[in-house]
Each structure stands twice: as C-alpha cells, then as structure tokens.
Amino acid sequence: MGIEVVVEGLTKSFGKQNIWQDVSLTLPAGEVSVMLGPSGTGKTVFLKSIIGLLKPEQGRVLINGVDMVNSPEREIMETRKLFGLMFQDGALFGSMSLFDNIAFPLREHTRKKESEIRRIVMERIDIVGLLGAEEKLPGEISGGMRKRAGLARALVLDPQIILCDEPDSGLDPVRTAYLSQLLIDLNAQIDATMLIVTHNLDIAATVPDNMGMLFCRNLVTFGPREVLLTSDMPVVSQFLAGRREGPIGMSEEKDAATLAAEQLNGTGPGAGPRSVVPQLEPSPGMPVRQGALRRRERVMSMMGQLPQAARTAILNSYTPAPGGGRL
C-alpha cells in the first residue's frame, strides 16, 4: 500500500521571486491526486520539493516520520527510495536501449543479479505495454512510448509513492487517453500513492481521486476531485473551461481594471454548475482499486464539510444507475 504524504506550510522562493507560499495538503495513501495550474505556477518545483531535490525556505514534508525538508540528508536519501519519478520527457539515456534504461536504477541502487534484473524489467515493460520494444533506442520510438518507458523505469524499485511530471506533454489526445487509463490500471495493480502534475483537462477530469490547483503563489484548493470540478471560484472556472476571460492572463494574473472591464462587458466567467464526468475505472481483468475504496469511505465521512455542489456530485457518482454501473 502507498504511503501518506503530509505537506505543511511549504514556502519556496528563488532569490526575491516567491514561487508559492504556505502550501498545506495531504496526499492520502494509495490514492491518485492531481495538481493543476497554469504554466509557470511552480508545479514542477512542488514535485521536486516533495522528493527533497529542492529545499523550501519554510514548512515540512512528512513521509513515514521523515521530514524531506529538514531531516538529516541520510534519512532523506533513504526515504527517497520509496519514490518513483516520471519526468516530462521520460529523461531516457539516448545511447541505451529501453531495457538498459529501465534496468538502470536496479543496477545503480541494488546488488541484484542480472537474471533477477531481467525478470523485474520485463515485468515492468509488460505492465506499460512495451513488450517487443525493449531493444530499441529512445530515438527509434514515439513520444508516447518514451513516456511509458519512463514510467516503467519509475516502477522498477517498487515505489510506494509515484510522482508524474506532466506525463501528457507532447502527446496527442488519443495517446493521452491511453496514458490516463494506464495510470489508473497501475494504481489498481500496485496501490501506490500517486501525484500527477498537469495542465491537461482530460487527465484532470477523469483520472484523480483528489485535485488541487496552484495559482498566484498560493494553493487555491485541494481535496476530493468533485470539489474542484464543481467550484465556482473564477480562477478555477476559467482554467477548467479554457477561457480567456478570468483572473489568469497570458503571463500572470490580470489586474483589477482588466477584470472589472470583463465583468462590465459581460465576458467574465459564466455561472452555473458543471457536470462531473465519471472517473476512469480499471480495465477489465484488473484488481479493484483499494485506494478508491478507502477514498469512498474517507469522502463520505467528510460530506458535511463539503460544498453542496460537490456533495451532490459525490452522491451521484456512488449511486447505482439503472441496469448496473453508476450514475
């Protein structure tokens, strides 16, 4: 089972530029979470801070009692072994075959025999659907295959926490849909805690149990997916609808005068609740997602704290539809 990740009061700056401040959230064990946000809002910086590759100025990241910000480096390095990290571009070595790329962490960090390494690597290659491509070089395969190879490499050390940095970048909508299903199937198989950083609305709408959003140097919200998907906050509405009108500008947030002019012209964010599309289910033959079962129990226990629109969406998602399935 995955491990809970607790983030408390995290603040990160580069020089005088504040990236985000006082970010607090909990990634529930074994559940899939997504962090949204416009480009340049520090989503990748947030991932690197969780794993301890960047040092925030304030706050804590607690994993099994180890603080990835302030604990001794030896403890941080040991805890980092619990992670699998999938980079934007796959981060593969161009001169190595896919097999050797995926085997690299095992050869680097373990003393396993080559026969055992081969068994593990081929299992992971099978999971991500790359059987038959293991001897190809990264330059000989598509971007989508490179993504899946990067995911296979992130899995070889049996991580309990998986971080995916914009896994959809460079992929067309069809490949993105395949990748979304792969992430859900993976969670069903290994029950790892997963955090996906993205600005892809299809992934955001269909994959996660929980969603958060970074904007204007703050965590706008984090919680069950239905809270964000039904939110009437202008920045959330604008982002999810992909509109020009709203607080998000081309390079940063818009000033008050621009927002006022949009409202006056009647082009501001539209009102009215959005429908919440069903979350992806594991493919036929996959085990039941244990994270989804735990999530249901957790969310039902906190219903009284949630907005009405989110409560309605949650109840609809857990109500059996006529003829089976869910509404």
Which amino acid does the sequence have at 190? Answer: I
Residue 159 C-beta-side C-alpha neighbours within 13 Å: 28
What's residue 319's pLDDT? 77
Q: Are 212 and 36 in contact (CB under 8 A)?
A: yes
Name every residue whose Cβ is closer than 8 Å to that of residue 67 and which is 6 or more positions away in sequence. 60, 61
For residue 161, give the nearest of 78, 69, 51 by alpha carbon. Answer: 51
5-224 belongs to CATH 1.10.357.10: no
Mind spelling out the 3-state secondary structure of the chain? CCCCEEEEEEEEEECCEEEEEEEEEEECCCCEEEEECCCCCCHHHHHHHHCCCCCCCEEEEEECCEECCCCCHHHHHHHHCCEEEECCCCCCCCCCCHHHHHHHHHHHHCCCCHHHHHHHHHHHHHHCCCCCCCCCCHHHCCHHHHHHHHHHHHHCCCCCEEEEECCCCCCCHHHHHHHHHHHHHHHHHHCCEEEEECCCHHHHHHCCCEEEEEECCEEEEEEEHHHHHCCCCHHHHHHHHCCCCCCECCCCECCHHHHHHHHHCCCCCCCCCCCCCCCCCCCCCCCCCHHHHHHHHHHHHCHHHCCHHHHHHHHHHCCECCCCCEC
Which residues sit opposite 20 in a β-bridge? 12
What's residue 217's pLDDT? 86
pTM comes to: 0.88
Q: Which two tokens stand for residue 61?
A: 């990241």
What's residue 175's pLDDT? 86
What's residue 3's pLDDT? 95
For the chain, the domains span: 5-224
What's residue 153's pLDDT? 92
**CA 84, 89, 94: angle at the middle one, nearest 5?**
100
Max Cα–Cα distance, the chain, nearest Å:
69
Q: Are 106 and 121 in contact (CB under 8 A)?
A: yes
What's residue 76's pLDDT? 95
What's residue 250's pLDDT? 63
Which residues sit opposite 85 in a β-bridge? 163
Mean pLDDT by 10 residues, the chain (327 residues): 94 92 97 90 91 94 96 94 83 91 92 95 92 93 88 92 90 88 94 93 92 91 94 88 80 54 51 73 96 96 94 88 49
What's residue 326's pLDDT? 52
Angle between helix axes 143-155 and 114-127 (nearest 10 degrees) is: 130
What's residue 241's pLDDT? 83
9, 33, 36, 133, 325 from 211: Cα distances, Å: 18, 6, 7, 34, 24
